[in-house]
Each structure stands twice: as structure tokens, then as C-alpha cells.
Amino acid sequence: MLKRVAELVAVLFIVSLGTFWLVSKMDTDPAVTMLGEGRTEAEYAAVRDDLGLNDPLLVRYWDWLSHAVTGDLGKSVVPPYNGISDRIAGALPVSVELAVLGMGMALLFCIPLAMWSAYRPGGRVDRLVGAGALGVLSIPSFLAGLLIIMVLANGLGWFPRAQWTRLGDGIGQNLYHAFLPALTIALAETAMFTRILRNDLVTTLQDDFIMSAKAKGMGPVHIMVSDALRPSSFSLMTLMGIGLGRLIGSTVIVEYLFALPGMGSLVIGAANTGDFVTVQGAVLVIAVIYVLTNALIDASYGYLDPRIRRAHV
């Protein structure tokens, strides 16, 4: 456990240092961003000095990191100069909810499809599911989102396109407005998860303990759900951990299509306006979530396969 914690800290340190260095190379001048055009050089110089931009890079990094570990991510350099923590607190729940809902929908779709496909490898259902998954993967997310909007929002009028209701205003309304963007995310994840889980299930079904279960007269549903699914979920759980962290920061296309105020929109908007403090804080938060999520996924392996627990005893 101590070794794992040390690895997580090292990863976060490298990510934070790399992000800080890259942001420092942005060609925008924070002083001009804050004051606007037409000010004197003395005024710009005073702002740069106040922000510590004249200090060496490592000094500035240490000053930022020492505040960040206490939860102080600084203030935006773009009017109205809000605190970064407040901005992230407003955007993060949107992205987390979309990622979790998308992952949840993908699991609901992929598990029965993968089990059905793996039951008779090479059969008609297996070929149909494989072709469907490949077709979905070949469609870019922005195109899938536009098609969903055209059919379910503009055509049938079942769901709104560009509205968002937070959880505090009602769970029903929140899920109603989150359904289409979550479905857009879930489509690609479902196709990828189905292919991975199907391949692992086919391999697991050839193991000796599955043959033993069949010899005992266990039904195919019992074997697939109780015996084969858990040990076949390693690759799926790993992909989920990677995908969840990725989706929290990379749903910018979906957020743009549905006009959602999430982390992707926050980072892109901050980068376009030269708000380097917001970019640094948002990327650090996303990295922390990503690393912790994958740590939890690693810890779940012992539950999925008791052999791993016994190997560490």
C-alpha cells in the first residue's frame, strides 16, 4: 500500500510539473489578459510582478503547488476574477455525472451483448454484435451526437438539446436533460467494452473450472453470470478506470454540442482566453481523479479474482 501511494504521489507530481511548464509556454501575456490593451508598460510590469511571473519557473511552481495541496488553486486572471476552486466546483459535477452516467449505460448495454455474443463464438449473433460494435466505433463522437440530436431532440422532440438542470433542482429533471449527452458518450464506450468483454469471456469459458461447472449440470446462464463474468472483467475494469478519468476532462465535444458547463468547456475556454491559472488548477483536479480512480480499479482486482488475494497473502 505504501509503495502504491508513493507511485500515485510521483505521478501527480510529474503531471503537475509538466502542466505548469507547458502552461508557462502559452504565448498570451497574463498582464494584458487582466488589464486589457492600451495600458502602459509600467502597469503591465506591476501585474507581472504581482503574479510572480518574473520569478524563476521552479520558484513559481513551488509557490503554486504549496497552495494547491491546501486546496487553494488561486484566482482567475480573467474578469470577474473568480476563485478557481469555485469555478471547478461548478463545472466538475457536470462532467462527473456525464462520465458516470455514460459508463453506467455502457455497462448495461455491453454485459448482456458480450455474454450473448460469447455464448456461441462465430455464430450469427456474435457476427451481428461484432459488426454493430465496429460500426459504432467508426462513427466520430461529434457525428453520433449530431445524429442523436437530429432524431431524438429535433425530430421526435423527446428530449431537450441545450438545457441543463442540476441535481439540486430535481433528480428527474436532471436525468431528463442528461440523457442525450450521456447516451452519446455511452455509444462508443459500449462498442469498445462489448468487444473486450466478449473476447475475455470466450477465453474464460475454455478454462477447467468452467468445464467442471458444466459437468455438474450448471445451466448456461448460471455459468455465464456466476462463474465466467467476474474473472473475465479485468480488462473491462481497467478500461473503465482509464475511460472514466479520460471522460471527465475530454467530453468537450459533447459539452459543446449540448451547451453544457462542464470541465471540458472550462479548460478550453480558459485556454482560449489565456487564463493559465484556471488551466493549471483544472488539469490538476482531473489528474487527481484519474489517478485515484485507477487506484480503486487496481484494488478491485482482488474482489474479481480470489486468486489475486491469495497470491498476496
Residues 6+ apart with CB under 8 A from 139: 147, 187, 188
Partners of 75 in the beta sheet?
83
CATH code of the region 86-311: 1.10.3720.10
User: For the segment 204-239, what is each residue's pLDDT rounded down to a tens digit?
Assistant: 888 777 777 777 777 777 777 777 787 777 778 777
Nearest to 284 by CA among 98, 92, 103: 92
Sign for the pseudo-dihedral over CA of 205, 210, 211, 217: negative
Residue 75 phi, psi (nearest 5)? -125, 150
Compute the average pLDDT of residues 42-66. Answer: 81
* Domain layout of the chain by residue ranges: 2-68, 86-311
Higher pLDDT: 252 or 152? It is 152
pTM check: above 0.85: no
Nearest to 277 by CA among 88, 73, 28: 73
Contact 263, 94 (CB under 8 A): yes
User: For the segment 70-125, what is each residue's pLDDT rounded down to a tens digit?
Assistant: 888 888 877 777 888 888 888 888 888 888 888 889 889 988 888 888 888 888 88
pLDDT value of residue 301: 63
pLDDT value of residue 130: 86
pLDDT value of residue 249: 60
* pLDDT band at residue 136 under the 50/70/90 scheme: confident
